[in-house]
């Protein structure tokens, strides 16, 4: 395969990764707090050696993915009627204790486990501002969650949700559809805006994603057809040369 074919193959590999990411977005269109991602591409320049052509034509442009951009816009807020559900109206993340350490999420669909701990969708306890699990006794009446994240019952204040943010949220590493890991330490959000009885929906726009998916699949098919035709062209050229020498 010559250089032209390799350039087309590099585009096919990039398109496959882009299609996988778009499909992942679509699959999580109904996941609370999920953030859509986009693949970032750039040219990878290779200088051809021993080629008799103008200087400007000696560089070959391959396609490479150089990173992922996460759309951090706040999704629509949906009222659930569950007094334990919370949504963050602005930027920030809830903090969960997992078996892999602290993890961060905007999915505020919370419940109580068998021990009365406030936990997230994966069963991990959500942290209080003091870094501890929040335990809500079931016999203390209705639960109230204030705008600053303070949780109270008829017996009084129980604790306050820990809400943090990051200087560079693009550096967060996704773990599944709900959780993020971070290398950099989080920064406390001093005045969070917590809304009780609501959850943040995914910010995925299904119609946009489906349109992108169809366009990516068409482009992949075009690139595959180009590679196939290029292979046929080379085979025919070799066959003609062989006949001339015979």
| Residue-level pLDDT at 225 | 77
Instruction: Say yes or no to pLDDT of 191 above 80.
Output: yes
| Residues 1-46 pLDDT 10s | 556 666 777 777 888 888 999 999 999 999 999 999 988 765 554 4
Structural tokens at position 163:
């809400």
| Residue-level pLDDT at 218 | 87
Instruction: Say yes or no to pLDDT of 245 above 70.
Output: no
Collect all residues with Cβ–Cβ distance below 8 Å to 195 and sequence separation of at least 6.
77, 86, 87, 88, 89, 147
> Among the listed ranges 14-18, 57-61, 111-115, 233-237, which one has the minimum average pLDDT value?
57-61
Instruction: Judge whether 145 and 86 are in contact, CB under 8 Å.
Output: yes
| Residue-level pLDDT at 46 | 47
| Residues 138-188 pLDDT 10s | 888 899 999 999 999 999 999 999 999 999 999 999 998 889 999 999 999
CA dihedral sign of residues 183, 189, 195, 201: negative
Instruction: Say yes or no to pLDDT of 246 above 80.
Output: no
Query: What is the reported pTM?
Result: 0.78
Q: What is the mean pLDDT of residues 233-242?
A: 72
| Residues 84-127 pLDDT 10s | 999 999 889 999 999 999 999 999 999 999 999 999 999 999 99
Distance CA 27, CA 18 (A): 14
| Residue-level pLDDT at 48 | 46
Instruction: Say yes or no to pLDDT of 51 above 50.
Output: no
| Residue-level pLDDT at 41 | 67
């Amino acid at each position: 395969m010559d250089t032209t074919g390799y350039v087309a193959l590099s585009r096919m590999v990039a398109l496959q990764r882009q299609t996988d990411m778009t499909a992942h977005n679509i699959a999580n269109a109904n996941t609370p707090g999920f953030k859509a991602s986009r693949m970032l591409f750039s040219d990878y320049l290779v200088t051809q050696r021993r080629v008799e052509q103008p200087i400007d034509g000696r560089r070959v442009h391959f396609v490479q993915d150089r990173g992922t951009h996460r759309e951090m816009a706040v999704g629509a807020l949906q009222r659930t009627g569950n007094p334990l559900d919370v949504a963050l109206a602005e930027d920030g993340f809830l903090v969960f204790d997992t078996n892999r350490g602290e993890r961060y999420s905007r999915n505020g669909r919370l419940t109580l486990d068998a021990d009365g701990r406030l936990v997230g969708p994966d069963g991990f306890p959500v942290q209080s501002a003091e870094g501890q699990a929040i335990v809500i006794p079931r016999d203390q009446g209705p639960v109230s969650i204030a705008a600053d994240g303070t949780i109270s019952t008829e017996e009084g204040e129980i604790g306050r949700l820990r809400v943090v943010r990051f200087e560079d949220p693009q550096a967060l590493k996704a773990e599944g559809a709900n959780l993020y890991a971070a290398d950099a330490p989080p920064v406390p959000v001093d005045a969070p805006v917590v809304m009780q009885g609501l959850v943040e929906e995914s910010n995925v726009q299904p119609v946009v994603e489906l349109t992108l998916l169809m366009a990516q699949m068409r482009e992949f098919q075009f690139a595959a057809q180009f590679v196939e035709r290029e292979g046929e062209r080379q085979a025919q050229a070799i066959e003609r040369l062989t006949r001339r020498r015979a």
